[in-house]
Amino acid sequence: MTAANVPATTTAVVATAYGGPEVLELVEVEVPVPGPGEVTVEVRAAGINPVDAKNVGGTMGADPASLPLRVGLEVAGVVTAAGEGATGPAGPVEVGDEVIGYPVSGGYAGAVTVPATSVFPKPAGLGFEAAAGLSLTGVTAYHLLEATGVTGADTVLVHGVAGGVGLTTAQLALERGATVVGTARPDRHDDLRARGVVPVAYGAGLADRVREAAPEGIDVALDTVGTDEAVDVSLELVTDRRRIATVAAFGRALDDGVQLLGSGPGADPGTEIRSRGRLVLTDLVERGALEVVVARTFPLAEVAAATALVTDGHAGGKVVLVP
């Protein structure tokens, strides 16, 4: 093993019970020495995602034996120790490498020891805060496009286009040459137009507004919000249900025969697609074809407030913890 100043312990966030942001606490935890095929990463930033709140809330299971529960699935930082044979998806991982870690367990911390297979190079021009917010939303967006076969010939409707997954989905679709129509609050429309998205306001009359925005029709509908409105409008406008996908409408997807992607009962996890997507995303960032929008950063001590902002669903970009 090679190492450089690896701490024996670090500050980490744990959930002491299943519930809301109020159950999150800071504790000191051991930083394991990396074994073969593992690395230790000094965390410079950790991405917060809605699924983290679901895990803490018990939506994904509420086994008391799992408490206290470590939280956080994606990080960016610097490798401080590497076990024998530490190799990631882009090749060998060495001490001093600036990396992104995804998926990881317990990323809300000052340091984590993780499988090297979860670690890949951070694009040189991407700050740690943005890098920590790239992966989960990015691979989710990539999965949506791959599952529905989006090409440059398509007009794509993205529900919740101003959110973390939605905005990344739009950028990836535009990069493929597709036309993107997206639902968002009116105060986000100018920014979306500047990015090449045709924005429409959600609410009563949505289907008609989409038809006006895309008179030649919608080929693909991608839902990141899970509302009945999103599913109903998608079904109304897209004939081929294989080209409708959602990552949020769990009950409706199975009932209506559209693709349900991600985690949860009946969903397609897309493990291979999402794993492959990590390096696709970093390549797009390096080519200037993908931007990670960071809405706010918080110190670890303010994790409850940060989680509440993400749960609200209107952060306007990624929310990131900075240890």
pLDDT of 265:
84
Strand spans (E) along the chain: 2-3, 9-15, 24-30, 38-48, 69-70, 74-82, 87-88, 91-92, 98-101, 111-115, 119-121, 155-159, 179-183, 198-200, 220-223, 244-246, 259-260, 294-299, 318-322
CATH of the domain at 306: 3.90.180.10
Residue 276 lies in a domain: no
Evaluate whether residue 169 is within a structural domain.
yes
Note down pLDDT in tens along the chain; length 323 residues.
Answer: 677 667 789 999 999 999 999 999 999 999 999 999 999 999 999 999 999 999 999 988 889 999 999 999 999 999 999 999 999 999 999 999 999 999 999 999 999 999 999 999 999 999 999 999 999 999 999 999 999 999 999 999 999 999 889 999 999 999 999 999 999 999 999 999 999 999 999 999 999 999 999 999 999 999 999 999 999 999 999 999 999 999 999 889 989 999 999 988 889 999 999 999 999 999 999 999 999 999 999 999 999 999 999 987 677 789 999 99
Question: Residues 96, 172: one domain?
Answer: no
In terms of domains, do 162 and 199 share one? yes
The reply to whether 286 falls in a domain is: no
Q: Is residue 156 part of a domain?
A: yes
Give yes or no for a contact between 168 and 137, defined as CB atoms under 8 angstroms apart: yes
Structure tokens at 274: 């999402």
CATH of the domain at 223: 3.40.50.720
Question: Rounded distance, CA 86 to CA 181, Å?
Answer: 43
**Together in a domain, 24 and 9:** yes
Whether residues 118 and 6 share a domain: the answer is: yes
- Please report whether residue 282 resides in a domain: no
Q: Does 28 fall in a domain? A: yes
Our count of domains for the chain comes to 2
pLDDT digits (tens, 9 = 90+) for 82-109: 999 999 999 999 999 999 999 999 999 9
- For residue 151, give its domain range: 137-271
Count H helices and E strands in the chain, helices first: 10, 19
Within a domain: residue 9?
yes
Give the CA radius of gyration of the chain: 20
Return the DSSP state at 261. B
Are residue 38 and residue 116 in the same domain, yes or no?
yes
Selection from 104, 67, 24, 107 nearest residue 301 by Cα: 24
Backbone angles phi, psi at 83, to 5 degrees: -75, 170
Is 248 in the same domain as 159?
yes
Query: Which residue is associated with the tokens 């009932």?
Result: 255
Same domain, yes or no: 121 and 206: no
Report the pLDDT value the prediction gives residue 5, as an integer from 0 to 100.
66
The DSSP bridge partners found for residue 220 are: 156
Same domain, 29 and 106: yes
User: pLDDT (tens digit, 9 = 90+) per residue, 217-226?
Assistant: 999 999 999 9
207: three-class secondary structure by DSSP: helix
Assess if residue 279 is contained within a domain: no
- Same domain membership, residue 169 and residue 263: yes
Q: Amino acid identity, residue 239?
A: T
Domain match, 119 and 142 both? no
Q: What's the rounded Cα separation, in Å, for the pair 179 and 220? A: 10
Q: Tell me the three-class secondary structure of 152-198, residue by residue.
A: CCCEEEEECCCCHHHHHHHHHHHHCCCEEEEECCHHHHHHHHHCCCE
Judgement on whether residues 184 and 121 belong to the same structural domain of the protein? no
Q: Kindly state whether residues 146 and 126 are assigned to the same domain.
A: no
